[in-house]
Structure formats: C-alpha cells, structure tokens
Amino acid sequence: MQYLTASPTRTTLMQHPVSLSTSDAERTIEFEFVRATENAALNSLAWLGRGEKELADAAACDAIYGVFDLVDICGEVVIGEGIKDNAPGIFLGEHLGTWRPGSPSFDIALDPIDGTSNIANGLPNSISVMAASHTLEGNPRVMQNLPSFYSKKLAFGPEVVKAIRNGMAELSLEAPLEQTLALVASALGKRVPELVVMTMNRPRHAELISEVRRCGAALRLISDGDITAAVSPSMPDSGVDLYLGIGGSPEGILTAAALKAVGGEMLLQMWPRDEAERESVRAEVGAVDMERIYKVDDLIKGDSAIFCATGISDSPLLPGVKVTGKKATTTSILMRARSRTVRYIRAVHDLEHKTIHLRSARSDRKL
C-alpha cells in the first residue's frame, strides 16, 4: 500500500527557518504552570478541613517555588499575595524561575490558593491559580497595579460581549440591577428568572442580594473565592450567567487573564474601604484612575496572557482533587489568550511514586 505524505522536505524546511517568537515561549512554558498549580493543589490537600489556612497556603507556595526553581524563565511576580491575607505568601517583586541568561521573561500574577478559608473549613471552591504575560525587554508592565484591597466587579461571558458588539446597550456598574439583568437575559435568550447570579455572601452585599432576589433571578452565594465565580459566566457548562460583587483586587487581575483567553468581559472599579484607603489610593494612582472603570484589556494590556488553575476543592470552574486509594486525580484548566485554546488537563498521580520538588527541601519529596 502506498501512503500519501504531506511531510515537508528538507528543502521546504530550510525555506521556512524556525524563529523563536513570543508565542513559542508561551507555548513551551505554559505546561510548567500546570505542574506548578497541580503540585500546589496536591501539596496543600492535606490541610483541607484542618482549620489551618496559613499552613495550607505555605504548602502551596513551597510547591510553586519548587517547580519554578527548575524552570528556565525570568519570572517576576507583579501580583502576589500578602497584603490581603497576611499569608506566608509569594510576594510582589519576587523572582520565579532560574533567571538563566537568555530565558524568556514573564510577568506573573498568582494566588497559590484562592479560597484559603474554604480549605481551612473543608469547604468547596478553592483553586491554585496563576497567570502570566510574556514580556519583551524594555516593555512596560502589562498587568495593572490596583492598590485598593477590594474592587467592585461585574463579569459576564462571551455571548453578552457579542450582543453588545452587535448593538445591545453596554452593561454598567452604576446601572440599576434590573436593567443589567434584563440585558444579560436578552443576550442569553433567557428570561430574568432563569438567570443565575453569583456573589460572595458578605454583609457588604446585603443590598445587592436583596436586589437580585427582588428582580427574581436565582442567586448562588459563595463563601469565598471570587476568581472561579467571575470566570464561570464565560464557561459554557458552569450554570452561572453573571458575577457581581466586591472582592479582592489582585483576584481581579487573575480573572482578567482568564477572560482574555475566553472572550469574556469584566467591569472593575477600585473600592476603597474607608476614607484613609481612599486617600492612599488617590495618592498612588491619582483621582481619575481611582474612579476609573477598567475592562479586561486595561487590566492586562497586549495580547499575551496565560491562565492556569487546578481545583483543590470542587468549584463551578473545576473539580477538586480526588483521592482514590493510591491515586490522586487533579483537574486543571490552561488557557492562552493568543490562541484562545482552553485545555482541561486531568492528571492521575500515582501516590506510591509521585514526588514533587519543594523549595523548602531543595529536592524532590514524596507527597
């Protein structure tokens, strides 16, 4: 039998020499992010339900550092932990990767665990999450620095974005909720009572909660973890149509990386907690930016964005780690804005063989 082959010949290959572009660096490095969040999830799992959020976070950080200690990138943490959680943390300005000369540069945003309280209380909705943008020498920062502790966010999916592009009125953070829900419903071809809105259960959301109920939409209240919540409306099977609420500002940047990769959108405005914070935010960014309503492309400029998360406990975005006998199954999501590819990576880890590289041990350790 004769096979037809479309393989290039040496001559055609030489006519198209390989050039290492930005996108190649992203494509080769992105899978290391999966290893990092997988290992963070696996290493923190032992703390699920033990009331020790700091120890869970420390375990996740140790695993993330451990993976990047072996990866040739020049990674700089531009959105880290710390200020908010008083966590052991990977902080702003830290370096990840070997920083070997010639390695590609990435700005990195991360939350080793979004939902540490959930882990501590054995509750659903915790993930390990990172985002990165490939940066070229001399390029300004692409991830927006939001100095406020909280931001007000409204996140919606690609169908709503498309409807706006086709002439539907824009959504707005200031508009009455009734109007926003009516627009979202019409974009999704639903009635308002069929909509599912997600927000965090907090006293600061009391008015929002009663408004959603008054309008007749269904509300899903979560205890913590608003990255999964804000990405969910952009994921076809999440069952969530809209995310609304006041949550962490760094979480907003991580959310923006995911939305950039799936064509969703978010309106975000910094929400200083009191007059003192308002003053310090104004001093840092100026009065105009303090009031500014940011969209995804303002939060992460340019077209490079990788988003990677592994479920620790179940969330609308990802199942958590499942341990059956001597095997642990992790589910991760990996997205890249340039290609708009969304990969779900289900990995089965043989716990009798599995080792992970930890920074604290400077070597591989059995889980």
Closest CA to 220 of 271, 308, 117, 205: 205
Ranges within 310-329 binding ligand VTB (CB under 6 A) = none
Tokens for 293? Answer: 């309503």
> Per rule CB under 6 A, is residue 104 in the interface with ligand VTB?
no
DSSP code for 62: H
> Per rule CB under 6 A, is residue 224 in the interface with ligand VTB?
yes
Q: How far apart are CA 309 and CA 330, in angstroms?
A: 10
Buried b (16+ CB within 10 A) or exposed e, 329-345: ebbbbbbbbbeeebeee
Choice from 27, 202, 301, 359 touching ligand VTB (CB under 6 A): 202
DSSP code for 104: P
The residue range among 99-107, 220-228, 264-272, 288-296 that interacts with ligand VTB, by the rule CB under 6 A, is 220-228
The residue range among 94-102, 225-233, 273-281, 329-337 that interacts with ligand VTB, by the rule CB under 6 A, is 225-233
Q: How far is the CB of 139 from ligand VTB (least distance, A)?
A: 28
Tokens for 96? Answer: 């990840």
Choice from 80, 112, 157, 247 touching ligand VTB (CB under 6 A): 247
Phi, psi at 105, each rounded to 5°: -100, 140
First to last CA, the chain: 51
Nearer to ligand VTB, 189 or 203 (CB): 203
Ranges within 6-65 binding ligand VTB (CB under 6 A) = none
Q: How far is the CB of 228 from ligand VTB (least distance, A)?
A: 8
Report how many residues bind ligand VTB under the rule CB under 6 A: 11
The residue range among 17-25, 162-170, 222-230, 265-273 that interacts with ligand VTB, by the rule CB under 6 A, is 222-230
The residue range among 64-72, 232-240, 245-253, 274-282 that interacts with ligand VTB, by the rule CB under 6 A, is 245-253
Burial of 106: CB neighbours in 10 Å, binned 0-12, 13-18, 19+: buried
Q: How far apart are CA 283 and CA 38, in angstroms?
A: 39
> Per rule CB under 6 A, is residue 225 in the interface with ligand VTB?
yes
Q: How far is the CB of 226 from ligand VTB (least distance, A)?
A: 4
Q: How far is the CB of 45 from ligand VTB (least distance, A)?
A: 17
Nearer to ligand VTB, 66 or 245 (CB): 245
Contact predicate 52/45, CB 8 Å? no
> Per rule CB under 6 A, is residue 251 in the interface with ligand VTB?
yes
3-state secondary structure of 28: helix
Strand 327-336 to 341-350 pairing:
antiparallel
> Per rule CB under 6 A, is residue 265 in the interface with ligand VTB?
no
> Per rule CB under 6 A, is residue 114 in the interface with ligand VTB?
yes
The residue range among 3-11, 88-96, 209-217, 223-231 that interacts with ligand VTB, by the rule CB under 6 A, is 223-231
Nearer to ligand VTB, 45 or 73 (CB): 45
Choice from 88, 115, 158, 264 touching ligand VTB (CB under 6 A): 115
Tell me, what amino acid is at 358? L
Tell me, what amino acid is at 211? E
Q: How far is the CB of 83 from ligand VTB (least distance, A)?
A: 11
> Per rule CB under 6 A, is residue 159 in the interface with ligand VTB?
no
Buried b (16+ CB within 10 A) or exposed e, 272-293: beeeebbeebbeebeeebbeee
Q: How far apart are CA 177 and CA 211, in angstroms?
A: 7
Q: Which residues pair with 355 in a beta bridge?
A: 366
Where along the sequence are the contacts to ligand VTB (CB under 6 A)? 84, 114-115, 202, 224-227, 247-248, 251
